[in-house]
Amino acid sequence: MERGLYTPDHEDFRASVRKFVEREIVPHRQKWEEQRLVDRQVWQVAARQGIIGLGVPEEYGGGGESDIRFRSVVMEELAAVGAASVQLGFSLTEDIAMPYFLELGNEEQKQRWLPGLAAGELISAIAMTEPDAGSDLQGMRTTAVREGDHWLLNGTKTFITNGIQADLVIVAARTEPSAGSRGISLFVVERNTPGFDRGRKLEKIGLHGQDTAELFFRDARVPAANLLGEPGSGLRHLMRCLPRERLAIAMSAQAAAEAAFGWTLEYVRERTAFGRPIATFQNTAFALAEMRTELDVSQAFIDRAMLALNANQLTVEDAAKAKWWATELQQRITDRGLQLHGGYGYMAEYPIAQAFLDGRVQSIYGGTTEIMKEIISRPLIRPS
Catalytic residue numbers, as ranges = 245
Closest to 122 in 3D by CA, of 162, 151, 76: 162
Rounded Cα gap, residues 362 and 330, in angstroms: 8
Helices then strands, each counted (H, E), the chain? 12, 10
Rounded Cα gap, residues 17 and 69, in angstroms: 13
Dihedral angle sign, alpha carbons of residues 375, 210, 15, 22: negative
CB of 124 closer than 8 Å to CB of 170: yes
State which amino acid sits at residue 155. Answer: G
Bridge-based pairing state of the strands 196-201 and 212-223 = antiparallel
Q: Where are the beta strands (DSSP E) in 97-142?
A: 124-127
Neighbours of 321 (CB within 10 A): 20
Q: Which residues contact 305 (CB under 8 A, 6 or more apart)?
A: 247, 250, 314, 318, 319, 322
Rounded Cα gap, residues 80 and 77, in angstroms: 5
